Amino acid sequence: MVPSRPLGWYGDTYVIMWFLMLVVFAVFGKGVYDRYRLWRLGVDEQRFAGFGQGIKNVLIHGIGHKRILREGYPGLMHLFILSGFLVFALGTLAVAVQEDLHLEIYQGSFYLILTFLLDIFGLAAIVGILMAFVRRYVLKPDRLDTTPDDGVSLVLILGILVTGFILEAQRIAITADPWAAWSPVGNALAGLFAGADNGSLKGIHQLFWWTHLLLTFGFIAYLPHSKMFHILAMALNQFFLKEKPAQALAPIDFSNEELEQFGVSKVEEFTWKQLLDTDACVRCGRCQDNCPAYLSQKPLSPKALIQDLKAHLGEKGPILLAQQAAARQRGTASQVAAAGEGAGAVLEKALTGEVIQEDTLWSCTTCRSCEEQCPAFIGHVPTVVDMRRNLVMMESNFPQEAQLAFRGMENNGNPWNVGWKSRADWIEGLDVKTMAEAEEGEVVDFIYWPGCAGAFDNRYRKVATSVVKLLQKAGSKFAILGTEEKCCGDTARRLGNEYLFANLVQENVEVMNGYNVQTIVTSCPHCLNTLKNEYPQFGGNYEVIHHSEFISRLMAEGKLKVAKELGAKITYHDSCYLGRYNDIYEQPRKILQNIPGVQLVEMERHNYRGFCCGAGGGRMFLEEHLGERINLMRTEQALALEPDVIATACPFCLTMLEDGTKAKDVIDHVKTRDLAEILVDVVQ
């Protein structure tokens, strides 16, 4: 006898099932289409990177759980549920092929293996669902907010799973299944029905069969209207993913004189992808758990931001669609207006100020932690900056301190507004040439770009000086731009002043292309990111290397040799723009590890989970009026390790953490130093 199980017990009622299925699919289709139409309200954005790449992304991050499994409990919980879901989809498909296409596949060893897997993964899914119940309703971590939909979704899925197992148990009891051992869960439960007579058991079985069917149909029809829609939307988001959405923000074409809106002032001015983001968010809260603004009690939670946009799209989108439809039917202006009647309040709601509070937008340090943790690959930071752009460029409405930074960048090419003529003063006595001086016949392999901090900030000048000394020791041939260098524009761009940014870039690119610059070594991770990833948008194509990378390379090549021991316990603080933005985690650590006597200790939040110093996204130049001070929080995290030195590789981090040690009154015995400063003291 070929192993299988009987199917089609209720074949005479299949007409009803088919009819219901049509209805369910129609409801599902309409639901999905409605969401799709909302996304299409957004403006264009090119995100297609090829089918192969897209599917690979979904396999790695959706099916493969690469990011989801970074956290144990919720990761496993989700893996259990999703794998159950996938195996069930396969099982259902096999049954459909056998029953409806009459291809005899659901038998033999395939049947045995599949039925076994269905039991195992079904059980895993139940465990997953129970874990989810416990987490949401008993453990209640801060990052979860609970709505009725969460409960309904869990109950629905649990219902489908439990009724499925009961059906299996009843069938085993009724048919005395000889292969029951291959259905371990059903087999174990079959004992419950051992005493019942076959007739009444069949009746109960039919009742459960219908219940199971209706629950499943309910699940499908409900899906586009619930959080479970993330199954589709998140997969789509992964299909179209960009690894680091904030790394290079979208430029604006200022030469286009037709442009009247700069930045986003209305939800429909976001791109379709940004609107899809709002549906891909399943409120897992990993972003919030790692957000320095949220953790320091500022009015920003990346999760809430995306959810607020979703809610606003949900209320405003249908009105806009109705207006569009009325306009298409050559409706008169009054008809078009009528389509939006009673919706005036929604249409007039200001995106920045009402839907999203201004303080929320200014709280963001653009540290990219939200994006880095998000399993759905939502681009929170560009969305924040788009709204900042509107506030700055359209409404001229921003924290007052930003104006000083803007003016400084405009007039003197640096956010501190120090007279530009003194930009090269720091090289006095260092035997460093400017490009203008070096031009005549001298070999220059790269330019050293100290950034505004290296050139003007007294504390960071010491770092730039250390870097120069290391480069000279290694015999590197380089020059600086000197007074021809201007702020890279990162601060302007991330504060939303794209116009100022574009002007700065244009001037820098002109100068560097004029000197035919190929390679830049910089001391500032913000300059690094902007020069490397954003300047190509403006015709500036350079190889850009951070000094930590470059120095680590020089050490590996034997051009820099450590001569002394340094008995010190050091913790390295990851700069967001070095780490999360550009994946430079290892090289800075390697420098420290190569110094004998150094004991490198890690803070709990390090590498991709590194905690921002609080100065990114232009916040370096804004007051911190709300909540706890982020730099103090980070300093405390470092001090918990009782280090002798807090090592940094970014001017902003250095300032923030050194200020932190000052405020904590430990500056005398806990030094905050750049890697280059640490190294220059111990090299030959």
Partner 1 sequence: MKILVLMKQTFDTETKISLDANGKIDEAGVNFVVNPYCEFAVEEALRIKERLGAGEVTVLSVGPERAETSIRQCLAMGADKGVLVNTGGLEGGDEFTTAQIVAKAIEKVEYDIILAGFQAVDDGSAQVAPRVAELLGIPQVTVITKLELEDGKAIATREIDDGVEIIEVALPAIFTAQQGLAEPRYPSMKGIMQAKKKPMERYSLADLGLDAGLVGTDGAKVKIVELSLPTPRKGGKIVEGEPAEAAQKVVQLLRSEAKVI
- Rule CB under 8 A: which residues touch partner 1? 257, 260, 262, 392-396, 398, 400, 403, 406, 411-412, 417-422, 499
Task: State which residue, 406 or 478, has the beta carbon closest to partner 1.
Answer: 406
Q: One-letter amino acid identity for 90? A: L
CB of 422 to partner 1, least distance (A): 6
Helix (H/G/I), strand (E/B), else coil: 270: coil
Least distance in angstroms from the C-beta of 599 to partner 1: 35
Q: How far is the CB of 411 from partner 1 (least distance, A)?
A: 5
Nearer to partner 1, 167 or 492 (CB): 492
Nearer to partner 1, 352 or 548 (CB): 352
Query: Nearest-CA neighbor of 617 among 365, 379, 246, 247?
Result: 365
Q: 179 or 499: whose CB is closer to partner 1?
A: 499
Question: Can you tell me whether residue 152 is helix, strand or coil?
Answer: helix
> What are the residues facing 187 on neighbouring strands?
none
Q: How far is the CB of 362 from partner 1 (least distance, A)?
A: 15
Integer CA distances (angstroms), 385 to 264, 375, 626, 638, in order = 9, 21, 20, 30
**CB-nearer residue toward partner 1: 261 or 334:** 261
Q: Smallest gap, in angstroms, from Cβ of residue 258 to partner 1?
A: 11
The residue (of 390 and 575) whose beta carbon lies closer to partner 1 is 390
Please state, in angstroms and rounded to a whole number, the distance separating the CA atoms of residues 549 and 429. 26
**b or e along 107-138 (b: 16 or more beta carbons within 10 Å of the residue's beta carbon)?**
eeeebbebbbbbbbbbbbbbebbebbbeebee
Residue placing its CB nearer to partner 1 in the complex, 132 or 387: 387
Smallest distance from partner 1 to CB 498, Å: 9
* Complete edge-to-edge strand list for the sheet that includes strand 478-479: 478-479, 446-449, 519-522, 543-546
Contact between 362 and 353 under an 8 Å Cβ cutoff? The reply is no
Count of CB atoms situated within 10 Å of the CB of 59? 12
Least gap, CB of 565 to partner 1 (angstroms):
32
Other CB atoms within a 10 A radius of the CB of residue 412 amount to: 20
Nearest-approach distance from CB 407 to partner 1, in angstroms = 8
C-alpha span between 493 and 544 (Å, rounded):
19
Measuring CA to CA, which residue among 679, 527, 601, 576 is closest to residue 291?
Answer: 576
Write down the least CB distance from residue 410 to partner 1, Å.
9
Task: Give backbone dihedrals phi and psi of 643, rounded to 5 degrees, phi first.
Answer: -85, 160
For partner 1, the closer of residues 139 and 404 by Cβ is 404
Of the two residues 395 and 586, which places its CB atom closer to partner 1 in the complex? Answer: 395
Q: Identify the three-state secondary structure at position 212.
A: helix
β-partners of residue 647 are 572, 673
The burial class, CB within 10 Å (0-12 / 13-18 / 19+), for 330 is exposed
Token pair of 297, please? 């009690």
- Give the nearest distance from C-beta 485 to partner 1 in angstroms: 14
Q: Is 632:663 a contact under the CB 8 Å cutoff? A: yes
Q: Smallest gap, in angstroms, from Cβ of residue 479 to partner 1?
A: 20
Q: Min. distance of Cβ 395 from partner 1 in angstroms?
A: 7
- CB-wise, 90 or 394, nearer to partner 1? 394
Q: Which is nearer to partner 1, 406 or 572 (CB)?
A: 406
- DSSP per-residue codes, 307-363: HHHHHHHHHHHHHHHHHHHHHHTT--HHHHHHHTTT-HHHHH--TBTTTB-HHHHHH
Nearest to 115 by CA among 179, 67, 175: 179
What is the distance between the alpha carbons of residues 612 and 606, in angstroms, rounded to a whole number? Answer: 10
Residue 46 or 255 having the CB closest to partner 1 = 255
Among 523, 510, 516, smallest CA distance to 452 is for 523
Instruction: For partner 1, give the closer residue by CB, 119 or 457.
Output: 457
Nearest distance in Å: CB 502, partner 1: 11
- Measured from the CB atom, the residue of 146 and 403 that comes closer to partner 1 is 403
User: Do β-strands 645-648 and 519-522 pair in parallel, antiparallel, or remain unpaired?
Assistant: unpaired
User: Hey, what are 344's tokens?
Assistant: 């005036």
- Looking at beta carbons only, is 218 or 353 nearer to partner 1? 353
Residues 6+ apart with CB under 8 A from 107: 2, 3, 4, 98
Cβ-Cβ contacts under 8 Å for 601 (sequence gap 6 or more)? 569, 570, 571, 641, 643
What's the closest the beta carbon of residue 335 comes to partner 1, in angstroms?
A: 31
Shortest distance (Å) from residue 256 CB to partner 1: 11
Provide the CB-side half-sphere exposure for 591 (13 A, CA).
30
Other Cβ atoms within 10 Å of 436 Cβ, number:
16
Determine the Cα–Cα distance for residues 395 and 397; give it in Å rounded to an integer. Answer: 5
